[in-house]
Structure 1
Amino acid sequence: MMGSSLSLTVSVLSSSKERLQLEEESLASTVADTPARPHCEGDDCSEHCNLAHGCCDQDGKCRCDPGWEGEYCEQCVRMPGCLHGTCHQPWQCICHNSWAGKFCDKDVHICEHELPCQNGAECVYDGDGEYSCLCPEGFHGKDCERKTGPCEKAGFPCRNGGQCQDENGFARNFTCKCLAGFIGALCENDVDDCLMRPCANGATCHDGMNRFSCQCQVGFEGRFCTINIDDCASHPCKNGAKCYDRINDFDCLCPDGFTGKTCEVSTPEPTWVTFYLPANRKNNGAVKSTTSEHLWVTQPEPVRTVVTGRRVANHSERASAGGLLKISVKEVVTQRDAGLSKSQLVTVLVFGILTAALVLVTILLMLRNRQRGRQRSNWCQSPSQAARKLQEQECQVGMLNTVMVEPRKTTEL
């Protein structure tokens, strides 16, 4: 096997040399057949400048044509990226010995120099710098670097795009590296992205692969349905009315003289009639006439009733008096002179009587105790001779309640 690979390498090298010789001969003939170009205006530099690849400028220096370089325009420019090669004409890349490829970047002797095949595999040179490895049983890959491990034996079981990992077949068991949005030993479970309820305002959440979408209720928009659509953006209110945005709706605050959803209906100017009724009026009926309107309302005495009426045109059935009378009632509370009510007065009186009685009882008890103390002191100081011995203990006990203990005097040193 090794002999066949060496013979193949020698044959490839010999064919490369023959090809290079043919290219050199053809290029030499091309250069020989190329007519000499006239030199540029200026000093004559034809003795040292290759006029086939450039010309002389006014300073007597060589000015090279595109694809040529050097002081005398004698060197061709190689193909960009050419590593181990040369050129005979511009933009060529003719590989040196032991190199191959378009940019001469592949080693012909890669099997001997770099030993790319692993795990005891045999390296075979295929020409043009390419090689292949003959892997032993149980290994695979370009360089036989992968072992037939748990992933391959299990048929690469990871689901939903998960990557099976077994340390190139050398691990005892495999693991699955899941894509975002999937979990589980085999990446078989899709993560519920709606679990945290990201959609607001009653929107419906639709779970996807590592994403979710919200189906908003009418009147809301945005990724999370948190934006209330401005229903006033189209300026629906007319006649100078102010618009207030609501949820999928709007309200118009109409100026005087207009009504309707968008204040589009004009209303006639109302006629206001105001009545001031006394508080002691007992009749609560209403009397209408062609010249005036009266409304009597019974209220408690401290309240005065102000009745305000306005005529509103009746568009369906117009009354003979010229319209309907719309009545609004406003109660104006009139304050009396400041004072206490009956219940408050009774409470204050009861509280005052109880307080006075308590103070009086306290004073009487204090006077009684004081009088008893004086009597006991006098009796103990001058008792009769017959009762002296019997009253001695009682007097001593009584004196304990009346005699004050004098504070001790301290002597300053």
Structure 2
Amino acid sequence: MPGCVHGVCHQPWQCMCQSGWAGNFCDKDLHLCENSDPCQNGGQCVITADGEYTCNCPEPFHGKNCEMKRGPCEAEGFPCLNGGTCQDNNGFADAFICRCLAGYVGRLCETDVDDCLMRPCANGATCVDGVNRFSCECPYGFQGRFCTVNINDCVGQPCQNGGRCFDRVGDYECYCAEGFTGKSCEIPIPRSTWDYQVVTSAKDPTPQTLPTRTVGTSRWSPVSVDKAGHFKISVKEVVTQREHGLSELQIIIVIVFGVITGLVVLLTVGLVLWYRLRATGQPGWCSNSSADTKTHYQQCHGTAPENRKTTEL
């Protein structure tokens, strides 16, 4: 029998113990209570048949060696909450204390620490408190533990037709190539082309080439020629031009030039009439200073200078 401490082995797996020793290995002192009493605080030491000992502890002590006392923790029913450990110096303390787990505070570990108190979440994210931890509910466009990472909205290459993508917060912006427009540069811009229309008139048989502009499928002519060879433009055509892309400033310029043209025409007609009336000698157009010649006198007064006296009488 290997390991026989206080005994000898007479046959396999059997240890014959010396006097005062017991146990399978003859290592239990039967005189332990007499030689060195392990029981504390007035406990009574008793040796059992297998060589072990027990301590009969007086109140309020307990434990294997009566080393513990029923103190405040036991008296209060171990009141620490949320996994906290009650400590009272083995019952010898006047009051107990609770040793709390991480994430709890308070006398009884009853209060969960607000881990969102320091506002760790960025960019308007919502902080959700947990037990010794927190989590951030990120707004649209952000990600990460603290919602500090701006999601790159250009990863999927949303810009079409050669457009250049720029990332924004929860959005993207496309700088379109020439000839395209729209959120993702998906809309082609119609291109303007100029054609020429050959026009002839009855007075002038020489062909006249007038420009016409084509926008998409509609065509408009800024100038038209009637059968008499006169150029004309109507208000309806101006409005139609505006619908096809003519700006408000261009409309105003056309109207102003039209008014000026009308005034010039009226002034010209007035001057022509004035000269014709003066040439025909109508009353009101002759003056004394201009009646010097016989012909002019006759045109203004209707008689020759030699008959002036008779006429006046």
User: TM range, normalised to the smaller chain?
Assistant: 0.5 to 0.7
Instruction: Check if 1:262 corresponds to 2:184.
Output: yes
The match for 2:10 is 21
- Secondary structure, aligned partner of 1:243: strand
Instruction: Check if 1:239 corresponds to 2:161.
Output: yes
- Choose from 118, 121, 125 the match for 1:199: 121
CA distance in 1, matches of 2:218, 2:52: 109
- Secondary structure, aligned partner of 2:155: coil
Q: Deviation digits for residues 153-203 of structure 1, max 9, x if unmatched?
A: 111111111211111111111112222222222222111111222111121
Instruction: Check if 1:291 corresponds to 2:280.
Output: no
- Choose from 225, 240, 250 the match for 2:172: 250
1:23 Cα offset (Å): 1.4
State the percentage of identical aligned residues.
52
Q: Deviation digits for residues 229-278 of structure 1, max 9, x if unmatched?
A: 11112222223322111122111111122222222333344569xxxxxx
What is the identity, as a one-letter code, of the residue corresponding to 2:67? E
- Secondary structure, aligned partner of 1:196: coil
The match for 2:108 is 186
- Secondary structure, aligned partner of 2:220: coil
Contact 1:108-1:127 at 8 Å conserved across structures: no
Contact 2:7-2:17 at 8 Å conserved across structures: no
CA distance in 1, matches of 2:50, 2:246: 106
TM-score of the aligned structures, taking structure 1 as reference length: 0.42
1:11-410 to 2 correspondences below 5 Å: 20-23=9-12, 98=21, 107-109=27-29, 111-112=32-33, 115-126=37-48, 130-270=52-192, 291=211, 313=216, 318-321=217-220, 324-325=244-245
Relative distance call for 1:231 and 1:24 in structure 2 (3 A) is: closer
CA distance in 1, matches of 2:124, 2:174: 26
Give me the CA root mean square deviation. 3.7
1:127 Cα offset (Å): 6.5
Q: Deviation digits for residues 87-127 of structure 1, max 9, x if unmatched?
A: xxxxxxx79865857xx6x9412845664432232334456
How many residues of Structure 1 are paired with residues of Structure 2 in the alignment? 205
- Secondary structure, aligned partner of 2:158: coil
1:292 Cα offset (Å): 6.9
CA distance in 2, matches of 1:155, 1:208: 28
Q: Which 5+ residue runs of structure 2 have no aligned equivalent?
A: 195-209, 222-240, 250-313
1:321 Cα offset (Å): 2.4
What is the identity, as a one-letter code, of the residue corresponding to 2:211? T
Contact 2:71-2:93 at 8 Å conserved across structures: yes
Contact 1:312-1:326 at 8 Å conserved across structures: no
Relative distance call for 1:175 and 1:240 in structure 2 (3 A) is: same
CA distance in 1, matches of 2:160, 2:88: 73
- Secondary structure, aligned partner of 1:245: strand
What is the identity, as a one-letter code, of the residue corresponding to 2:29? H
Relative distance call for 1:235 and 1:142 in structure 2 (3 A) is: farther
The match for 1:70 is none
Q: Deviation digits for residues 294-327 of structure 1, max 9, x if unmatched?
A: xxxxxxxxxxxxxxxxx864xxxx5322993466
CA distance in 2, matches of 1:23, 1:116: 34
CA distance in 1, matches of 2:76, 2:178: 83
Contact 1:162-1:179 at 8 Å conserved across structures: yes
CA distance in 1, matches of 2:165, 2:12: 88
Relative distance call for 1:190 and 1:258 in structure 2 (3 A) is: same
Q: Which 5+ residue runs of structure 1 have no aligned equivalent?
A: 1-12, 26-93, 273-289, 294-310, 330-413
Relative distance call for 1:253 and 1:184 in structure 2 (3 A) is: same
TM-score of the aligned structures, taking structure 2 as reference length: 0.55
